[in-house]
Amino acid sequence: MTKTMTGLATAVAAVAVLAGGALAQTDTIRIGVIKPITGPLAFDGNNSVNGAKLAVDEINAKGGVLGKKLELVVEDGQCKPADSVTAAEKLMVRDKVPVVMGAFCSGATLAVMPVAERNKVPLITGVSSSPKLTEAKQSWFFRNAESELMTAQAFAAILYEKMGLKNIYYLAVNDDWGRGTVGAFKETFEKIGAKTMSIEYVDRTANDFYTPLTKIRAANPDVVIVVAETQAGSIITKQARELGLKSKIFGVGAWATPTFMNLAGDAANGVFAGVVYASTATGDANKMFVDNFKKVFNTDPGKYSAGGYTTINVIAQAIARAGAAEPDKIREALTKTDVQAPNGRIKFDSHHQAYGWELVLVELKDKVPHIRATGVAKSPYD
Amino acid sequence: MSSQRLPLLALLAAAIALPLVFRGEYFMHLMIMVLFYTVLASSLNIVTGYIGQLSLGHAAFFGIGCYAAAMLTLDAGWSVWTAMIIAGLAAAVAGFVIGYITLRLDGHYFVLITLAFAEVLRLVVINWEEVTRGPLGFPNIPRPSIVLGGEVMVDFSSKTHFYYVALVLVVITLWAKHRFVYSAMGRASVAIRENPRLAQSVGIDPFYYSMVAFVLGAFFAGLSGWFYAHYISYVGPDVYGFGFMVTMLIMIAVGGRGTIVGPVIGAAIITIVVEELRFAREIRLSLFGLLLMLSILFFPRGLVSVPDLLRRRGWWPGAGKTGTA
Amino acid sequence: MLDVALQFLVNGLVTGSFYALMALGLAMIFGLMEVVNFAHGEFFVMGGVVAYAFCNVLGVDFYLTIVIVVALMFAFGAATDYLLIRPLRGQHLLSTALVTIGLSIFLINTMLLTFGTSPQGLDAPFSRKPIIIGEIVITEGRLFAIVVGAVAIVATHILIQKTRLGRAMRATFQQKEAAALVGVNVERVYTLTFALGTAMAAIAGVLLGAVFVIHPSTAELATLKAFVVVILGGMTNLPGAVAGGLLLGVVESLWGGFVSTGYMDVIGFALVIFILLFRPYGLFAPRPGR
């Protein structure tokens, strides 16, 4: 009988914990973060969180914002729509954070957007790239990342006009990002006159790409646009060299990171990549970011770390400008964002799409991304 | 059977009163997820719990419900309530077709062929962009609303509205399941589960009864898909994936398969445990895996069997008899 | 056209060797023991992770690493059977299926924590320089994968056909009660079979690290593919599992090459459906099996 009572008490306690709000904390300003912390995308998710942590540490070392320290509340959304929604409900309703960064994958972000809308909490992504997200004018959602269309518009012209690459083949991971990016490049390329030879879609977790690469080798395009993350991208690069593919390779994704270049090894030499961030970019803001990041994490930062870092800086500046850590004021302040990020000067347009990064075209050589061309990301709407 | 009816009625009364007592939106969200998973897990339980077949294709019926709801309301402009009926029926039709093909096989072969169907469907949904919108799926699925005489009576802006719809779905599902289980047909199903050859020899056609159970399970999976689509407001190909399949299997096994309250307990426990484990951060899922293994090893018949186990040791009031459903 | 087709064929055989190794292990666990093992892909990845610990971190010789991995994973498989599967022997399929689901969730996330979330390559002593035979390209690592696959398969065959353990296994899985009557320790045979299946998956994992990269996210697809191949091969038919693995590798490669890479993974599942409907005992069985 006592066991029953204990069990009952535990159950009641559990429900009470779930039902009740968290303890009010007035000494810090809490920022919610939804990222894939477990599961197949945990690598990139954790990189993004690391960038955010560095930004918070830097800001706190300088005394915080409005006299208060910043604190991250990181929740795992696993890039799954339903789990990300639950994480958002927890952050916005129970923890009552005034602003949330997330949810990494475009699908998960699409699912969280209505939750932000309903709870009237600003939601900022530093990663999700589907053009669909900002197609309509947004009220509570902001995108501090390049959309797939912006990437395509920045690089297609350089590849076609400056490098003279006319016959294009695509090799992309079979998910929303892979398909969206191919769509955006195809549209942009065809407008300026380049020819699409064919498209191959592959599973994100596959290991062997000899079959699509054999096809591509037989077609012999001027360039293969490869849309893939670290794992698939590095294997594709290696296997393309093994097979003796003569076409140029242009990678979209986090290709200018140390992990990528270590995994691909010598095969990465001569590979081009279009990135929103390269640790070798010039400028004081970037130098400071890279130095500090190296000190804490013992490696060079990549695209996702830079994204997390910049997004927290955008949020911190907005809170300072708002004068209070309140959702509606932060939202208002976010529209006036003007932040010097490691990779450009960031502002939001009328659709809450950020612009102003220096997008860089790099050539990988001996584990260093050499910058070959730069362009500034323009707003696709204004 | 009456041993299950009383606690169920008590639970229902508590469930109806719940939003009046607790008002937190986050809490409501979790309770809605519990109810949603109750419908989903119960629908699988009709197949796996009562006819004893381990179907790994059940997520496909859930997915069909989700996509039917999304496509009918967004692409065809139908009302959310019409979409509900069609979502359930579409899944049931798919259940009929797949069941007709697969239920001839048993044991291992059935496990694999149902899995194969679900995977084929998932891959088609990812690749057939023109119809399914590919991997990005359908955002902005509209909320339902109840309109009477040209006036919007309930606009579903509050979680409480969704909560009561989910509760109604749970009641319908459990009621239908109850009717099925305690009908001549349901008893026949259990006979099939326990001993298919004997069942056949007394004139029970295992195929026919299994079909009924399979189609019924698919129908309710489709309904839960409809609810998910409109509540979360976004569906993508992950609804066909292994993640949902594993979740519902875990729920019926942890709660107790082949019982009516089992999936209810499983849905509640798993949803709350996963949420309470958030404190564990990165090791959250490792812990969850560990708990799952322990639960199956120590309570192979699910948590519904705990009172029986305790009773046998005299730790719980009541006779030491075990009752099964 | 022909040279491209030949290249596809060779590509398919390499992938097929992985499938064959995975399926051989699963045919023992799933086919013979009737355990729906959802952790098979995790055993596979674990082989790679353990190899990484020895080969890259501790600097052990690559070939010695393979031996260590096989021994450790054999022991791990035996322990898994003893602790998790044996208590549930004779229960519904769902019970063992769920225990392995729990194990897979535990293993995959624990590996992400300890091994890290970044993919890693194995320090294997193979040159990445391609070997070109006519128009066909292959690498040392890939050739090695095919060779190890072949060796493992032949060794299994000998083990089952020629050794005492093999005889005990055949007796147990044909007629459990009779085997027990003639003095076979049935429980021990079960445990050893599970351990053997686990070690087989782990070898595939080491090869994965040597030829491609090790990353926990590959586990799920690997599990599904292994199930597909076991069905193609005819469930309890071990040589069938090998043939099924090679066949699936080649068919996928040709389909991806000439039809569509996006639909490449559909082939296996579509084959499963057709085979179960028209030839439920697999492609290679002359008559219904057990």
How does DSSP assign B157-213, residue by residue? -SHHHHHHHHHHHHHHHHHHHHHHHTSHHHHHHHHHHH-HHHHHHTT--HHHHHHHH
Q: Which chains touch B (3 or more CB pairs under 8 A)?
A: A, C
Q: Domain check: are A271 and A294 in the same one?
A: no
Assess if residue C245 is contained within a domain: no
Residue of C nearest to A238 (CA): C128
Q: Domain check: are A51 and A153 in the same one?
A: no
Give the pLDDT score at A1.
38
CA distance C50 to A132: 43
Q: Which two tokens stand for residue C110?
A: 């624990």
Instruction: Say yes or no: A118 contacts chain B, CB-CB below 8 A.
Output: yes
> What CATH number does residue A42 fall under?
3.40.50.2300
To probe the interface with B, which of C99, C237, C290 has the most B CB atoms within 10 Å? C99
* Inter-chain residue contact B316 with A4, CB threshold 8 Å: yes
Q: How many domains does chain A have?
A: 2
Instruction: Say yes or no: B305 contacts chain A, CB-CB below 8 A.
Output: no
Q: What is the rounded average pLDDT for all residues in chain A?
A: 88
Assess if residue A325 is contained within a domain: yes
Q: Domain check: are A158 and A141 in the same one?
A: no
* Inter-chain residue contact B300 with C265, CB threshold 8 Å: no
Assess if residue A19 is contained within a domain: no
Instruction: Say yes or no: B292 contacts chain C, CB-CB below 8 A.
Output: yes
Count of beta carbons in the 10 Å neighbourhood of residue A26? 6
Give the pLDDT score at C124.
83
Going from the N-terminus, what domains does chain B have, and what CATH number goes with each?
Answer: 2-265 (1.10.3470)
Q: Give the closest residue to B136 by CA, choosing from C53, C164, A109.
A: A109
Give the pLDDT score at B323.
42
Residue A334 has pLDDT above 90, yes or no: yes
CA distance B133 to C103: 35
Q: How many domains does chain C have?
A: 1
Assess if residue C202 is contained within a domain: yes
Q: In chain B, what residues touch A172 (CB-CB under 8 Å)? A: none
Q: Are C255 and C264 in contact (CB under 8 A)?
A: yes
- Helices C140-162 and C186-211 meet at what angle, rounded to 10? 170
* Inter-chain residue contact C273 with B120, CB threshold 8 Å: yes
Q: What is the DSSP letter of C38?
A: T
CA distance A160 to A152: 12
Residue A23 has pLDDT above 60, yes or no: no
Residue of B nearest to C103 (CA): B289
Instruction: Say yes or no: C216 contacts chain A, CB-CB below 8 A.
Output: yes
Give the mean model confidence (pLDDT) for residues A336-357: 90
Q: Which chains touch A (3 or more CB pairs under 8 A)?
A: B, C
A vs B, Cβ pairs < 8 A, gives: 100
Assess if residue A242 is contained within a domain: yes
Give the mean model confidence (pLDDT) for residues C64-93: 93
Q: Which residues in chain B show pLDDT less than 70?
A: 1-4, 316-325
* Inter-chain residue contact B283 with C231, CB threshold 8 Å: no
CA distance B203 to B83: 39
Count of beta carbons in the 10 Å neighbourhood of residue B110? 21
Taking only the tens place, the pLDDT of each residue in C223-257 is: 999 999 998 888 888 888 888 999 999 999 999 98
Q: How confident is the model at residue C281 (pLDDT cuts 50, 70, 90)?
A: low
SS3 B76: coil
Instruction: Say yes or no: B250 contacts chain C, CB-CB below 8 A.
Output: yes
Assess if residue C250 is contained within a domain: no
Q: Which two tokens stand for residue C81?
A: 């059977």
Residue of C nearest to A217 (CA): C4
Q: Domain check: are A142 and A153 in the same one?
A: no
Q: Which residues pair with A353 in a beta bridge?
A: A143
Q: How confident is the model at residue C282 (pLDDT cuts 50, 70, 90)?
A: low
Assess if residue A12 is contained within a domain: no
Q: Domain check: are A116 and A200 in the same one?
A: no
Assess if residue C224 is contained within a domain: no
Distances (CA, A) of C247 to A258, B227, C17: 38, 42, 10
Residue of A nearest to C209 (CA): A207
B140 in the Ramachandran plot: left (φ > 0), alpha (ψ -120 to 50) or beta?
left
Q: What is the DSSP letter of C57?
A: I
Instruction: Residue C165: give the domain boundaries.
Output: 2-217
Residue A291 has pLDDT above 90, yes or no: yes
Residue A300 has pLDDT above 90, yes or no: no
Q: Are C47 and C250 in contact (CB under 8 A)?
A: no
* Inter-chain residue contact B238 with A90, CB threshold 8 Å: no
To probe the interface with A, which of B136, B230, B279, B282 has the most A CB atoms within 10 Å? B136
Listed range (A139-153, C44-58, C194-208, C267-281) with the worst mean pLDDT: C267-281
Distances (CA, A) of A302 to A290, B160, C45, C233: 10, 44, 26, 45
Q: Where are the beta strands (DSSP E) in chain C?
A: 131-133, 136-138
Least CB-CB distance to B289: which of C105, C227, C235?
C105
H/E run at residue A357: strand A354-365
* Inter-chain residue contact B238 with A75, CB threshold 8 Å: no
Listed range (A267-271, A329-333, B100-104) with the worst mean pLDDT: B100-104
* Inter-chain residue contact C257 with A211, CB threshold 8 Å: yes
Q: In chain C, what residues touch B284 (CB-CB under 8 Å)? A: 109
* Inter-chain residue contact C87 with B297, CB threshold 8 Å: yes
Give the pLDDT score at C1.
65
- Helices B242-255 and B58-70 meet at what angle, rounded to 10? 120
* Inter-chain residue contact B283 with C224, CB threshold 8 Å: no
SS3 B74: helix
Instruction: Say yes or no: C139 contacts chain A, CB-CB below 8 A.
Output: yes
Q: Domain check: are A254 and A183 in the same one?
A: yes
Assess if residue A233 is contained within a domain: yes
Instruction: Say yes or no: B97 contacts chain A, CB-CB below 8 A.
Output: no
Least CB-CB distance to A46: which of C15, C117, C221?
C117
Q: Domain check: are A83 and A109 in the same one?
A: yes
CA distance B135 to A338: 34
* Inter-chain residue contact C231 with B115, CB threshold 8 Å: no
Q: In chain B, what residues touch C112 (CB-CB under 8 Å)? A: 282
Instruction: Residue A234: give the domain boundaries.
Output: 149-275+361-376
Q: Domain check: are A292 and A310 in the same one?
A: yes
Q: Domain check: are A301 and A260 in the same one?
A: no
Q: Where are the beta strands (DSSP E) in A209-338?
A: 223-227, 248-252, 272-275
Least CB-CB distance to A38: which of B228, B236, B285?
B285
CA distance A260 to A268: 9
* Inter-chain residue contact C36 with B54, CB threshold 8 Å: yes
Assess if residue A81 is contained within a domain: yes
Give the pLDDT score at C290.
40
Q: What is the rounded average pLDDT for all residues in chain C?
A: 88
Q: Domain check: are A292 and A312 in the same one?
A: yes
CA distance B174 to B223: 13
Q: Which two tokens stand for residue A63?
A: 């005394």
Q: Domain check: are A175 and A253 in the same one?
A: yes
CA distance B297 to A199: 49
Distances (CA, A) of B250 to B8, B257, C220: 21, 10, 17
Measured over the CA atoms of residue B263, residue B269, residue B272 and residue B277, the dihedral's sign is negative
Assess if residue C233 is contained within a domain: no
Q: Domain check: are A51 and A75 in the same one?
A: yes
Residue A24 has pLDDT above 50, yes or no: no
